[in-house]
Chain A
């Protein structure tokens, strides 16, 4: 493959200690290398910002989004973000695009690429739904993908935890990743999804799960220990109990403390907490509801075993879709909104509700502030991932909007000025003047997500990394983001170049090429589980499938044909 060299760029590569230096980036055979020959194609960055390709470590891009599309035919005409939403006709190169919160699969690939993102993690899929998710992955062009597999309300998991059978739990976790060609373990409202089968929920870490002698705390610790025993590249990835409920900060802090006792098997967090904004509420009702970001930040600043992502809210229409079935029922009733409900047999619940967030409502204004407060109050950017929980908090095409908010106190104050008075004593954002610099922003959008996921080849520009590079029409040494935030937002929305695997896929904000992305998955089963334990698991699973599942074990596993460009990662066996 041809060689390439990016010259005259201002490079930020925090993992390798590069902070705004005019380094050359050399590319050969889709990888970053130290040198290239004289004949290498030259990309002149002209003093512009050069970053590793963006890594979205938590997004909802395949799976439930299909039902969301069916529920929201009107979403296809929404176009609040010019050039990145709404109907776009077919071109010689591109398929037609529609939508905003739930774009068509091709639109997802094009639009992430325009933002300079090159890797995305689908954050919630049951093994049962995985085959179709991979079919969707296959029609999302350009991007590399991976999937987090829901295990937090799974009957097998709860049975093995109840039995105290840590070997079976480990075997099943490894097998579930294999069966779904998944990358890591996701836990949503542990136990709550199972109780939702009976129209119930759990109210905290110590409730019993109906028909199982386990609690959400048992599930979290059990899965975390199995995750570490298998030496998986990613930690458990957790959506806490009590999402969106005033006072839920108690549960969130208890969950954070609970994991202090589990040791990480490698140099990373032992738990990632997702969309923290939705879990950082004080108060006892919506009347006295307020931001608890200071308490979360205090804990994060004094402990090193966790990471989290923001779940930043974006004003306007959003699409909430989660395995947290009871939460979606509550949303639908509270807002008199459309509702879709999921029963995923033994594996989890789920629901979908379209919502809209407005700065005129004090609760929404407070939630918007909390996301930003969390990112700004936690000192170490390596503990914070930038997300909107796309499209739950807002559509990913708004990432530049929220990124600029983190970099410009002035822009934040402009938005806050429009909030109702009832918001002001509930938030601390007006008094936070921190503005992220380019290095910190690069950590939160690239380097940290890659490290958190354990993807060594992503999120940096050192030799051996995948040649995924984003170049933006921003001159970091000349621009004052705090003041010129609109121009920076525009530049971040339409990359000057996005390079994926050494190929120019975006130039001047337009898609140039449509390579197919890879799918990363983790095989901890093959080498990680001994034959006797595999046999024991299969004997039990055969019985359980016969008894409880609507499909047969032999039809269950995602076949290789569904993952044509896999990158199989085999963790070292402890």
Chain B
């Protein structure tokens, strides 16, 4: 078992591209080796040691590596990008695209996550204990397939376009979701325990559960009566008919 602790040394104002903060990249490396890994701060090339105190305890492969970021890193982007195994725990906020393209392992963000958390993830689990911003579990700009697998849980609220272009996997939001969750979806399951607005716009297929209120409903959904799922009674809708969609939207009654 290898534990890598990164303690933030300063609060950068310009975003830092740090896609190499993964168990895959850190496994088996010493503190000095990890500190020497390059990153970009704006257009300046820096090293991880410029922004973190690095401590390493033990050694292991990626699956056996745990990274602890011991504090807020609201300007550090792409933490855990494309990770395949292991664990990351951030004891604070993260910047955009945390866990993008990840295929395995787990990430826990104890604070808030900025936009595109879990973008195009194919496996593994992400837990955000605070809020997440736009496009949580969404796609890359221009692509037509977003999150494909794995599980993304957000205990707080999310902003617009949750699970945009989702192609698979599971999203759970315990708070509210703002506009258009599940927009342009192909597959996968989204559960929103709080309220939301205009869910499932242009959804082709896939499933959305809303346990709170739908503040505004799209007119292009067909009412299919009520249905009980896991002991909860829902009103069931099929759509989005504007795209000949066969998605299923359950709204708590």
* Genuine A/B complex: yes
Q: Which residues of A are in contact with B by a Cβ distance under 8 Å? A: 71-75, 77, 336-338
Binary interface encoding of chain B residues 108-151 relative to chain A, with 1 for a CB under 8 A from any of its CBs, else 0: 00000000000000000000000000000000111110000000
Q: Provide a sorted-by-A list of 15 A–B residue pairs whose CB atoms are within 8 angstroms.
A: A71-B142, A72-B142, A73-B140, A73-B141, A73-B142, A74-B140, A74-B141, A74-B142, A74-B143, A75-B142, A77-B140, A336-B204, A336-B243, A337-B144, A338-B144
Chain A residues lying within 8 Å of B243, measured Cβ to Cβ, are: 336
The distance in angstroms between the C-alpha atoms of A337 and B143, with both chains bound, is 11
Within 8 A of A (CB), among B203-236: 204
Q: Nearest 5 pairs between A and B by C-beta?
A: A74-B142, A73-B142, A73-B141, A74-B143, A72-B142
The distance in angstroms between the C-alpha atoms of A229 and B107, with both chains bound, is 72
The distance in angstroms between the C-alpha atoms of A445 and B200, with both chains bound, is 50
For the residues of A in contact with B, the DSSP-based class is helix
Chain B residues lying within 8 Å of A337, measured Cβ to Cβ, are: 144
The distance in angstroms between the C-alpha atoms of A71 and B144, with both chains bound, is 12
The distance in angstroms between the C-alpha atoms of A336 and B142, with both chains bound, is 14
The distance in angstroms between the C-alpha atoms of A71 and B243, with both chains bound, is 20
The distance in angstroms between the C-alpha atoms of A77 and B143, with both chains bound, is 11
Chain B residues lying within 8 Å of A338, measured Cβ to Cβ, are: 144
Shortest distance in angstroms between B140's beta carbon and chain A's nearest beta carbon?
A: 5
The distance in angstroms between the C-alpha atoms of A74 and B142, with both chains bound, is 5
The distance in angstroms between the C-alpha atoms of A233 and B221, with both chains bound, is 59
The distance in angstroms between the C-alpha atoms of A30 and B141, with both chains bound, is 45
The distance in angstroms between the C-alpha atoms of A74 and B140, with both chains bound, is 7
Chain B residues lying within 8 Å of A336, measured Cβ to Cβ, are: 204, 243
Chain A residues lying within 8 Å of B144, measured Cβ to Cβ, are: 337-338
Within 8 A of A (CB), among B130-181: 140-144
The distance in angstroms between the C-alpha atoms of A75 and B143, with both chains bound, is 9
Shortest distance in angstroms between B40's beta carbon and chain A's nearest beta carbon?
A: 11
Shortest distance in angstroms between A65's beta carbon and chain B's nearest beta carbon?
A: 15
Shortest distance in angstroms between B79's beta carbon and chain A's nearest beta carbon?
A: 19
12 extra A-B contacts, CB within 8 A, seeds A74-B143, A337-B144, A338-B144: A71-B142, A72-B142, A73-B140, A73-B141, A73-B142, A74-B140, A74-B141, A74-B142, A75-B142, A77-B140, A336-B204, A336-B243
The distance in angstroms between the C-alpha atoms of A337 and B144, with both chains bound, is 9
Chain B residues lying within 8 Å of A73, measured Cβ to Cβ, are: 140-142
Chain A residues lying within 8 Å of B204, measured Cβ to Cβ, are: 336
Residue of B nearest to A76 (CB): B142
Shortest distance in angstroms between A248's beta carbon and chain B's nearest beta carbon?
A: 27
Chain B residues lying within 8 Å of A71, measured Cβ to Cβ, are: 142
Residue of A nearest to B140 (CB): A74
Shortest distance in angstroms between B232's beta carbon and chain A's nearest beta carbon?
A: 32
The distance in angstroms between the C-alpha atoms of A295 and B170, with both chains bound, is 53
Shortest distance in angstroms between A61's beta carbon and chain B's nearest beta carbon?
A: 20
Chain B residues lying within 8 Å of A72, measured Cβ to Cβ, are: 142
